[in-house]
Amino acid sequence: MTQAPLLRRITDYANRADPYPLYEELRRTPVLQEEEGGPYAVSSYYDILGLLHDPRISSDAAHLTAPDDDELSEPEATGLPPSFLRLDPPEHDRLRRIANRSFGPPHRPHRIDSLRGELARIVTGLIDGFGDARQIDVVDQFAHPFPVTVICRLLGVPREDEPRFRGWVDLIVAALDPETRQSGDPQFLRTAQEARMQLGMYLAELVEQRAREPRDDMLSDLVADHGPDGAMSTMEVLSTAVLLLIAGHETTVNLIANGMLTLLRHPEFLHRLREDPALSVRIVEELLRYEPPVQLLPQRTCVADIELRGITIPKGSRIWLVLAAGNRDPERFRDPDRFDPDREDLGHLGFGSGIHICFGAPLARLEAQLALTELVRRLDNPRLVEDPPPYRQNAVLRGPRHLRIAVDAVRPSEAVRF
Amino acid sequence: MPDEEYHEWLRREGRIVIVGASLAGLRAAEALRAGGFAGSLTLIGDEPHEPYDRPPLSKAVLLGKASPEHTELPRLRRTDATWRLGVAATGLDMTAKRVRLADGEEVPYDRLLIATGVRARPWPKEDEAQLDGVFVLRTRDDAVRLHRRLAASPRRVFVIGAGFTGSEIASACRARGLAVTVAERADGPLVGALGGVIGAVAADLHRDNGVDLRTGVTVTGLEGDATGRVRAAHLSDGSVVDTDVVVVSLGAIRNTDWLKGSGLGAGPRGIACDAGCRAFDFRGIVTDDVFVAGDVARCPHPLFGYQFLSLEHWGNAVAQAEVAAHNMISAGADRRPHLWMPAFWSSQFGVNIKSVGVPAMGEEIMITQGSLAERRFVGVYGHQGRVIAAVSFDNSRWLDFYQQQIERGAPFPVEYRTVDRRPEGRAPMPAGFPDPSLPTHGPTVTLSGYSPADRQLVFTPARH
Ligand SMILES: Cc1cc2nc3c(=O)[nH]c(=O)nc-3n(C[C@H](O)[C@H](O)[C@H](O)COP(=O)(O)OP(=O)(O)OC[C@H]3O[C@@H](n4cnc5c(N)ncnc54)[C@H](O)[C@@H]3O)c2cc1C
Ligand code: HEM
C-alpha cells in the first residue's frame, strides 16, 4: 500500500484531531522536501528558531516563485497592498512601527493593560449568558465571541457588524489553509481575494469616519498618527486593519478552545487553576507549546541558498516552518508530549520569533489567561461531551469547531477581581 | 582525599568566600546554592548597598524614570549567606587561604571567588578632579549625586569621553533638555568599541539630538572658580567651554589593587583565568581554589583565537558567575568551560544598539541589512575572512543569526543575498578602529593578549 505524502497527511482533515504523531514522523527528516517543486518543511525547534532570525528568509509574497503559486503571489490582484505580515524590511518594519504606536509601548504603554477591566466584563457577560444551560458549546458561546468583541472594541469596529464581515473573514482564513490551496481551485482563491477587498472597503467607511471624528480606538490612531515615520497611506491603513481584525481573533479563539479542551483532559491543572489564578500564566505558555493555534508558517521563501543539516535549500524555495512540530522537539523539551505547565523548560514557538513575532501577543496572553481562569472558576464540574471534538477545517489555524461540555451549574460571578 | 570525595565534602561543609557583592557575586552565590552547596558562604563588598543593577544608572535613573535607590537586583533564590557589606577586602594570602579585610579581620576559605569588577577611571589631575561639579558614574552613590545635580538644571553639562556610558549620559541630559558638550579624542563616539564607520553614525546621532560634539580633541584641563566649583573645560584645540557639571567618562580600572603581592596573576587588565574561571598565579600556573568572574576577569575564548578577553558586559558577568560557581564545587570531569558569546546593548537617543562577538577584532565591516543613513541597520565585522562580530542599530532581532555565523566561523565578506540589503551594503569597507596600541577609553571588550601574566603590561592612561 502506498501512503500519501506526509505533508498531505498533515494537512488532511482526517488527521486534524491529532496531528502530533505525524509531526513526530516529520521530525525524523528535519528538512523534508517530499515533492519536486513542493515546500521544504522544517520541523526541529532550533532549526525553525534559526530560520525565523535568518535574513535570507523572506515573508514577501512577491518572492514566491514556485510554479503552483502563481496567481496567489500577485499582491495587486487583491486590490489591497499586502499587510506587514507579508512584507520584508524596510516596509515591514516601517508599517509595524507605525501600527505599534497605537498599540504598545513606548507610545501607548497602557493600551492593553487599560483594557483589563473591560475584558473582564466581557468575559463575565458571556459566562452569565450561559444561563441555566447544562450543556455549553465553549467555541460558539465563548471562545469565538470573546476575542471578536475585544478586537472590534480595540480597532473601533462595531461589534454588531460581525454578520457583515464574518463571511469575508471566513473566506480569507480558508485561503490560508494549504488543503484549500493544494486543491488549487482558482475560482475559490479569487473569491478569497475578493473577500479581502470587500472587507477592506467595509473598513474604509469606518476609517473615513474616524478621520473626521477620532475616537479612542486604533482605527482613529492609525489614520491620524504622524510619528517619526510619517503616516500610513489609506491603503496601508486598510490592509493593516484587515490584518489586525483577522489575526486578532482567528488565533485566540483556538487558544481558548484548545485551552479548555486540554484542561478538561488534564483535570489536575483545571483544579489547580481554580485555586490559583496566577497559574494561568504558566498554563497559557504551555498551551502555546502543546497546542499552538498557529501550527505552521507556510508563507516563507529563501532569497539565497541555505545549508541546513547538510541539505541545500535552493534560492527561491518555499519553506514551511512547522511550529507545532518544533514545539514538541525532544531536543528542546523534556518529555515533549506531556502537558506540564510546571516544566522548567517552559517556552514555545507559538508566537513565532524574529521580526514577525506576534504583534498581538500581550493581548492574546491576557485574553487567554482571563478566559481560562474565569471558565474554570465559574463552571461547576465541567466535562467533555465528546472527545475529540469536531475540528475546524483549517490545518494552519487549528482548533475545535465546537467544544461541547456538560456542567452541573454555572456559578454566579462575584465581584470582578481583575 | 580523592577529587570526588573532596568535592563532596566541600559541597557539604566547605567554606566559600566571594569578594565583590554585585552582579557577578550575587549570581554566583545563588548558583552555588542552586548547585547544592550547603556549606558556609560569605560575601564581602565594599559598597554599603545590597547588590544593585548598574545599567539603569546611566539610563532610566538619569532620566528620572527610576529612583537610584530602586535598582536592586532581583533575588533569584535564597543565598543563606553572611553578608559583609561596607567593608573592603585588602589582601589575599593564598597559602593560608585567607582574605584580609579593611577592619583587620581575616576570613578563611576553601574556595574563593573574586568578582571585584571595575571602577570608573577618575580625572587624572587630582586637584581638578576634586572640584565641585566633577563627577564619574559607576556606583549608585555616583548616580544619586549626578542625578541631583542634573535636576538642579545646570546651564551646561560637559561629558569627557564618548564611549557607551558617556554617550548614554549625554543622551539622558538631552532628554532632560540640558545643554551638553561631549569631548572625544577619537573621530566619533563609540569608535573604540565599534570602529569609525559606526562612530560616524553615532556622531550624527549626537548632533541631531542637539549635542555639541567635539571630536578629535582632548581635554587639557578643568578650571574652577574661587569657591572650588568647576566653571570651564579647556580643550586641546584651544577652545574653552563654560560648564557647571563635568562628567568624566574615561572607561574603567580593574579592581585588582588589593591583590598586590598576593602572587595572583592580577594586573591593570584584570585577573587572568582559564576557561573554567580558575585564576592563574603570576607564573601562569592555574590555581585550584581561586576563581574569577565578571568585569574583573580576563578569560581566553576559543572563538577569538584563545586571546584573553576582558568584557565589561552585564550578560558576561551573569554567565561567568554561573560557570565559576558550578566549577567551584565540581570535580574535574564535571567542570564546564565559559564559552559565552560577547553581547552588549546600549540605548541612547532613542536608539537600541546591540553587538555580538568582538567588533574590535574586525578589520572590515559591511552593512548587510538596512542603511547607515536611516540609522537602522546590521553591520557585520570580518576578521581574516571570517565573521567575527555584528552590531545593530534598532535591528536587534536579527542578531541571533549573526551570532551563529560567528560561532560557525562563517566566511566574510557576506556574499549571499539578505532581505533589506541596500546597494551600500554590497562591499565591505575598513571598519575604522584606531591603532590598537593606542589606549582608548571606550571599548567594553579588551583583547589582552595570549599571556596570562600581564603584570608587566603598562596601561597608559588617556592624556586629556
Ligand atoms: C553606568 C553603567 C551602565 C552600564 N550599562 C550597561 C549596558 O547597557 N549593557 C551591558 O551589557 N553592561 C552595562 N554595564 C556594565 C555592567 O553593569 C557590568 O558588566 C556589571 O556590573 C559587571 O558586574 P560585576 O559584578 O563583574 O562587577 P561590578 O558590578 O563592578 O561589581 C564589583 C563589586 O565589587 C566591589 N569591590 C571592588 N573591590 C572590592 C574589594 N577590594 N573588596 C570588596 N568589594 C570590592 C565593587 O565596589 C562592586 O560593588 C554598565 C555599567 C555602568 C557602570
Ligand atoms: C493566541 C493567539 C495568537 C497566536 C497563537 C498568534 C500567533 C502568531 C504568529 C505565529 C505570528 C507570526 C507569523 C509569521 O511569522 O509569519 C503572528 C503574527 C502576527 N500576529 Fe498574532 N497570534 C495571536 C494573537 C494575535 C492577536 C490578538 C493579534 C492582534 C491584536 C495578533 C496580531 C498579529 C500580527 C499583526 C502579526 C504579524 C506580525 C508581523 O508580521 O510583524 N495576533 N501571530
- Which class in CATH covers the domain with range A6-69+80-410? mainly alpha
Interface of chain B toward chain A, CB-CB under 8 angstroms: 368-370, 374, 376, 378, 397-401, 404, 416-420
pLDDT tens digit sequence for B368-412: 999 999 999 999 999 999 999 999 999 999 999 999 999 989 999
Q: What is the pLDDT of residues B333-350, one digit of tens each?
A: 899 999 899 999 999 999
Residue with cell 551638553: B180
Which comes out higher in pLDDT, residue B445 or A23?
A: A23
Cβ-defined contacts of B99-102 (< 8 Å, 24+): B99/B17, B99/B19, B99/B44, B101/B44, B102/B46
Residue type at A257 in one-letter notation: A
Whether A210 contacts A220, CB under 8 Å: yes
Report the alpha-carbon distance of residue B449 to residue B434 in Å, rounded.
Answer: 17
Q: Where are the domains of chain B?
A: 3-119+253-334, 126-251, 343-447
- CATH number for the region B343-447 comes to 3.30.390.30
Note the pLDDT of residue A184: 65
Ligand 2, atom 2, lies closest to the CA of: A252
DSSP-derived 3-state class of residue B295: helix
Interface contact A54-B401, CB threshold 8 A: yes
Interval B440-460 mean pLDDT: 52
pLDDT band at B464 (very low <50, low <70, confident <90, very high): very low
Q: What is the pLDDT of residue B452?
A: 62
Q: Over 90: is that where the pLDDT of B458 sits? A: no
Q: Best residue in A45, A84, A107, A355 to probe B by mutation, most B CBs within 10 Å?
A: A355
Q: CA B18 to CA B25: how far, in whole Å?
A: 6
Model's pTM, two decimal places?
Answer: 0.90
At A4 the pLDDT is 87
Treating both helix axes as pointing N-terminal to C-terminal, what angle do B140-151 and B164-175 enclose, rounded to 10 degrees? Answer: 30
Could you say which ligand is closest to the alpha carbon of residue A322? Answer: 2
* B444 — pLDDT class (breaks 50, 70, 90): low
All residues at 6 or more sequence positions from B21 whose CB lies less than 8 Å from its CB, including other chains = B43, B44, B45, B47, B51, B83, B85
pLDDT at B449: 65
- Whether the bond between B461 and the residue before it is cis, its omega within 30 degrees of 0, is no
Closest CA to A369 of A120, A16, A76: A120
Fold (CATH) for B3-119+253-334: FAD/NAD(P)-binding domain (3.50.50)
The full set of domain ranges for chain A reads: 6-69+80-410
- Residue in B closest to A55 by C-alpha: B418
Query: What stretch of H or E contains A307?
Result: strand A306-308
Q: Across the strands, what pairs with A135?
A: A406
Query: pLDDT tens digit string along B53-73?
Result: 999 999 999 998 999 888 999
Q: What is the pLDDT of residue A327?
A: 98
Residue B357 pLDDT more than 60? yes
Q: Which of A263, A297, A266 is nearest to A395 (CA)?
A: A297
Stretch (H or E) spanning B379: strand B376-383
CB atoms within 10 A of CB A149: 19
| DSSP state string for B132-188 | BTEE--SSHHHHHHHHHHHHT--S-EEEE--SHHHHHHHHHHHHTT--EEEEESSSS
Q: For residue B445, name the pLDDT band (cuts at 50, 70, 90).
A: low
Locate the chain B residue with the closest alpha carbon to A229: B374
Residue type, B19: V
Given a cut of 70, the residues of chain A with pLDDT beneath it are 1-2, 63-78, 181-184, 415-418
Half-sphere exposure of A399 (CA within 13 A, CB side): 27
Identify the pLDDT of residue B44.
98
What confidence score (pLDDT) does residue A53 get? 97
Quick one: pLDDT at residue A251?
Answer: 96
Sequential DSSP letters for A234-300: HHHHHHHHHHHHHHHHHTHHHHHHHHHHHHHHSHHHHHHHHH-TTHHHHHHHHHHHHS-SB--EEEE
Helix (H, G, I), strand (E, B) or coil at A305: coil
With bands split at pLDDT 50, 70 and 90, how would you rate the model's confidence at B41?
very high
pLDDT in tens, A92-145: 999 999 999 999 988 888 999 899 999 999 999 999 999 999 999 999 999 999
The rounded Cα A76 to chain-centroid distance in angstroms is 25
Atom of ligand 2 nearest to the CA of A83: 40
Shortest CA distance to A410 belongs to which of A128, A141, A138, A139? A128
Tell me, yes or no, if the two domains B126-251 and B343-447 fold the same way: no
Neighbours of B81 (CB within 10 A): 20
Choice from A59, A358, A369, A394 to test ligand 2 binding pocket (greatest atom count within 8 A of CB): A358
Which ligand places an atom closest to the C-alpha of B166?
Answer: 1
- Which residue minimizes the CA distance to atom 9 of ligand 2? A351
- Out of A54, A88, A354, whose CB is closest to B420? A88
Task: ipTM value, please give it.
Answer: 0.86
User: What pLDDT is stored for residue B226 in this prediction?
Assistant: 95
B419 and A58: CB-CB below 8 Å?
Answer: yes
Residue A146: per-residue pLDDT: 97
Residue A64 has what pLDDT? 58
Q: Which of B419, B424, B375 is nearest to B401 (CA)?
A: B419
CATH number of the domain at B126-251, out of 3.50.50.60, 3.30.390.50, 1.10.1240.10, 2.40.160.10? Answer: 3.50.50.60
